[in-house]
Amino acid sequence: MVGLKICGVTRAEDLRRCIELGVDAIGLNLWPGSRRHLSLDAAETMLRSADVQIDSDESPTRVGVFVDAALAEVEAAVERLGLALIQPHGDAPVEPYAALAAGLGVGWIWVIRGTP
């Protein structure tokens, strides 16, 4: 399967354009260290401003991008934003995130780091 994911969406107008163009997935960067960071409140506001229903199948798949996030933070984001996938980055082991995703009934994206 091949699909297109646009990561770092921060504005409602960009999200609406992604929907118009048929983008398969959007990445919501929930890591505070990123210049494209969205708080949960800001992400919810963006989704609402773009007239995207949290549980709608009409919108692109929502992917939460996290860096060494606490599992409770990831769970809260999945529930509040209707995330279908989590994408953990960082140095933390991936297994707890995979187990959390399975328990929440969502998928996860395994990020493979390249060699520096």
**What is the rounded average pLDDT of the residues 89-107?**
95
Using one digit for the tens of pLDDT, what is the confidence trace for 36-71?
999 999 999 999 888 776 556 667 999 999 999 999
Residue 75 lies in a domain: yes
Averaged confidence pLDDT in the chain: 91
- Range of the structural domain that residue 85 is part of: 9-108
| Residue 19, domain CATH | 3.20.20.70
pLDDT band at 1 (very low <50, low <70, confident <90, very high): low
pLDDT at 28 over 70: yes
Residues of the chain above pLDDT 90, percent: 73
CB-based burial, 91-110: b 16+ in 10 Å, e otherwise: eeeeeebeebbeeeebebbe
Q: Specify the number of domains making up the chain.
A: 1
Nearest of 58, 46, 55 to residue 106 by alpha carbon: 55
